[in-house]
Each structure stands twice: as structure tokens, then as C-alpha cells.
Amino acid sequence: MKIESERVNDRFFKGRMWNTTVLAISENEWQARKKSD
């Protein structure tokens, strides 16, 4: 049971990391596009 909850926590943490990374990348893209206009 403990291992199962650890796996869920790990997946949740990875999901949050992934979302943060994607947001940071898309924000950088947005800034670059605004500058090139």
C-alpha cells in the first residue's frame, strides 16, 4: 500500500514538473515572438 502511494506521488510530482517546464518554454516562445514582431 505504501509503495502504491509513493508511485502516485511520483507521478503527480513528475506531472507538475512537466507542466512547469512546458509553461516556461511556451512563455519563452511568446516573448521571442513578441520581440521579432
CA angle centred on 29, ends 27 and 31, rounded to 5° = 70
Gap between the terminal Cα atoms of the chain: 54
**What percentage of the chain reaches a pLDDT higher than 90?**
38
- Calculate mean pLDDT across residues 27-35: 91
Cell numbers linked to 2:
505504501
Task: State the chain's mean pLDDT as an integer.
Answer: 89
The domain total for the chain is 1
Q: Tell me the residue range of the domain where 14 lies.
A: 2-35
Residue 21 has pLDDT above 90, yes or no: yes
Residue 1 has pLDDT above 90, yes or no: no
Residue 12 has pLDDT above 90, yes or no: no
